[in-house]
Structure 1
Amino acid sequence: MIAVLRTPRFLLRQPQLGDAELIARYLNDYDVAGNLARVPYPYHLSDAKAWLRTRVPGLPVEETNFSIELAGEGFAGHVGFHRGPQGPIIGYWLGKPFWGRGIMSEAVEASLDWFFSASAAPVVYSGVFHFNAASLAIQTKLGFTETGRSTLLCLARGAELEHIDTQLTRSVWKARHT
């Protein structure tokens, strides 16, 4: 069973079928989907339901995902891990009504605490499209370092875009907490 993580302001919990309508609403916003590599635009309820069917119990740590549930407001976004060619990758998104409140920094920090305690992985990879300064600021604040530039397909934009590649090592993460 997946962990439920609590932060001072919200819960990080396993995605549920009941999240589908809000996932579809928030990801069917070009300003959100256009910052993500693996999300098409337009994004439909059927896309959300299909993805949620892949979130089954017993997935490895490197494939664990959390829905962000704000007290009194409900589902707000998502943070999760998936396997990449070099190792685990963290990705995240937040519905536009919740932008600018520091929610994602708190969610990514809590999920990284959980990940490094539940896994032996020495590094977590991530990155942002070159125009996503807000997401890059979150990563920089949490200790990610730029490792280079690449191009990555953005499904929503239908194009290969410049991508800033980042990583966070276990040793850097642990040093933040000492």
Structure 2
Amino acid sequence: MNVTLRTPRFVLRPAQTGDAEAIARYLNDFAVAGNLARVPFPYHLSDAKAWLRTRVPNLPVEETNFSIDLPGEGLAGHVGFHRGPLGPIIGYWLGQPFWNRGIMTEAVSACLDWFFAASTEPTLYSGVFHFNAASLAIQLKLGFTETGRSTLLCLARGAEVEHIDTKLTRSVWKARDK
């Protein structure tokens, strides 16, 4: 789907070919890539360009992605959905210069509103590597609950890593206090 969302501070928009350099710059940082399952390290401009070629128009809700575009600063990170074995999964990353500004909580919240309005899925899955306390705090703040622990391949680390599995149900999201 080609969707653009607006929050009080920024725009969430489809990724564009012009984002390649910023994506490569921020994901070629082990502090970012080492927290993500599906991102190699080092991360090259060619990796960003290859990924951007997969962002074709009119993908289903469960494969929609949003680039976080800050006024005056440009691309800062990304929130995206992909299909998983139990159902749709949400993942996200933020370039290190943008950490600790509340950007990701705002971005994920807007994307969750959109996802539950645009789909009929009852549950959205996610999780974090066991050492990623900041990302887990975002999920818990937004209503995700821990469902267990597993191991997940982290491409950047080249190893299976302990993973805290989480989920968010439509009913919990709709019932939250805004």
Give TM-score scaled by structure 1 length.
0.99
Which amino acid counterpart does residue 96 of structure 2 have in structure 1? Answer: K
1:12 and 2:12 matched: yes
- Give 3-state SS (helix, strand or coil) of 1:82's partner: strand
Deviation at 1:3, TM superposition (A): 1.3
Paired residue for 1:122?
A: 122
Q: What are the Cα deviations for residues 34-61 of structure 1, in whole angstroms up to 9, with x where unaligned?
A: 0000000000000000000000001000
Runs of 4+ residues over 6 Å off in structure 1:
none
1:52 aligned partner = 52
Secondary structure of 1:156's counterpart equals coil
Residue aligning to 1:38: 38
Separation in 2, partners of 1:123, 1:15: 25
Whole-angstrom distance in 2 between the partners of 1:93 and 1:124: 17
> One-letter code of the match for 1:94?
L
- Cα drift, residue 2 of structure 1: 1.3
CA distance in 2, matches of 1:24, 1:18: 11
Partner residue, 1:143: 143
Deviation at 1:177, TM superposition (A): 4.8
Matched, 1:170 2:170: yes
2: CA distance between counterparts of 1:160 and 1:75? 30
- Root mean square deviation, CA, Å: 0.8
Q: After TM superposition, give the deviation of residue 8 of structure 1 in Å.
A: 0.3
AA matched with 1:80: G
**Quick one: percent identity of the two aligned structures?**
83
* Distance across 2 between alignment mates of 1:172 and 1:81: 19
Q: Note the alpha carbon deviations across 1:15-51, whole angstroms, 9 max, x for none.
A: 0000000000000000000000000000000000000
Whole-angstrom distance in 2 between the partners of 1:58 and 1:102: 29
- Counting only pairs closer than 5 Å after superposition, residues 107-118 of structure 1 correspond to structure 2 as 107-118=107-118
For residue 29 of structure 2, what is the aligned residue in structure 1?
29
Deviations 1:88-124 (A, max 9, x none): 0000000000000000000000000000000000000
Partner of 1:65: 65
Question: Structure 2 length normalisation: TM-score?
Answer: 0.99
Letter in 1 for 2:144: F
Separation of aligned partners in 2, 1:19 and 1:75: 7
Kindly provide the amino acid, as one letter, of the partner of residue 123 in structure 2: V
- Secondary structure in 1 matching 2:92: strand
Q: Gaps spanning 5+ residues in structure 2: where?
A: none
Task: Find the aligned partners of 1:58 and 1:140 in 2 and give their Cα distance.
Answer: 31
Distance 2:13 2:177 in 1: 23
Give 5+ residue unaligned stretches, structure 1. Answer: none
Say if 2:100 is the partner of 1:100: yes
Q: 1:12, 1:27 → 2: CA distance?
A: 18
Q: How many residues align?
A: 178
The AA in structure 1 aligned to 2:145 is: T
Deviation at 1:83, TM superposition (A): 0.2
What letter is aligned with 2:138?
A: I
Q: What is the alpha-carbon distance in structure 1 between the residues aligned to residue 93 and residue 20 of structure 2?
A: 15
Compute the displacement of 1:75 (Å). 0.5
**Cα distance in structure 2, aligned partners of 1:147 and 1:95:** 28
